């Protein structure tokens, strides 16, 4: 009986990782939406409008065009958030805000002129994004409120 093979083999050292697959279209802002998390991940901008495959697990999000990996990100579960790699942005987008002289200091100066509460909310909005440029649109909205309703 000792010559018989064991019925069970030892478990593998690495745990089995479940991969999920979904399709998405690259949006005009060079991001794809992972609907399960409502989180947006960047892809190189030259792929705008193309249908891609998103393969993801608990840790990683990989984006494929046909069989080619075009982007890989650490998974982020924050809803309605962006994960953006600077190299995915077109150079025009990278330089646009600089050319407009819109930066964090510009928005904070405007907010300070309005009042301390406007300054504080503007500061928090600017700190809320990994790429500060993604907060500028919200800051523009705050500035429009000042024009619409006054200081």
Residues 77, 30 share a domain = yes
Give the total number of structural domains in the chain.
2
Residues 125, 73 share a domain = no
pLDDT of residue 8: 86
Residues 66, 31 share a domain = yes
Residue-wise DSSP of 34-87: ETTTTEEEE--GGGTT-EEEEEE-SSEEEEEETTEEEEEEE----TT-EE--GG
pLDDT of residue 109: 87
Contact 123, 108 (CB under 8 A): yes
Range of the domain at 114: 95-149
pLDDT of residue 69: 98
Residues 118, 63 share a domain = no
**Residue 32 DSSP symbol:** E
Q: How far apart are the first and last CA of the chain?
A: 89
> How far is the C-alpha of 143 from the C-alpha of 52, rounded, in Å?
37
**Residue 5 DSSP symbol:** P
* Whole-prediction pTM: 0.61
Model confidence over 14-53: pLDDT tens digits?
A: 999 999 999 999 998 899 999 999 999 999 999 999 999 9
> How far is the C-alpha of 102 from the C-alpha of 111, rounded, in Å?
13
Instruction: Note down pLDDT in tens along the chain; length 151 residues.
Output: 556 766 888 889 999 999 999 999 999 889 999 999 999 999 999 999 999 999 999 999 999 999 999 999 999 999 989 998 888 988 776 665 455 556 788 888 888 988 999 999 999 998 888 777 778 878 888 888 888 888 8
């Amino acid at each position: 009986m000792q010559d018989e093979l064991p019925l069970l083999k030892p478990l593998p050292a690495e745990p089995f990782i479940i991969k999920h697959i979904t399709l998405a279209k690259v949006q005009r802002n060079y991001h794809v939406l992972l609907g399960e998390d409502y989180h947006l991940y960047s892809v190189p901008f030259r792929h705008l409008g193309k249908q891609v495959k998103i393969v993801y697990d608990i840790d990683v999000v990989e984006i494929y065009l046909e069989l080619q990996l075009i982007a890989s990100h650490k998974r982020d579960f924050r809803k309605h958030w962006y994960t953006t790699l600077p190299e995915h942005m077109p150079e025009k987008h990278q330089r646009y805000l600089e050319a407009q002289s819109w930066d964090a200091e510009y928005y904070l100066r405007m907010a300070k002129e309005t009042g301390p509460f406007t300054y504080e909310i503007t500061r928090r909005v600017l700190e809320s994004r990994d790429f500060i440029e993604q907060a500028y649109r919200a800051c523009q909205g705050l500035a429009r409120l000042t024009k619409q309703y006054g200081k």
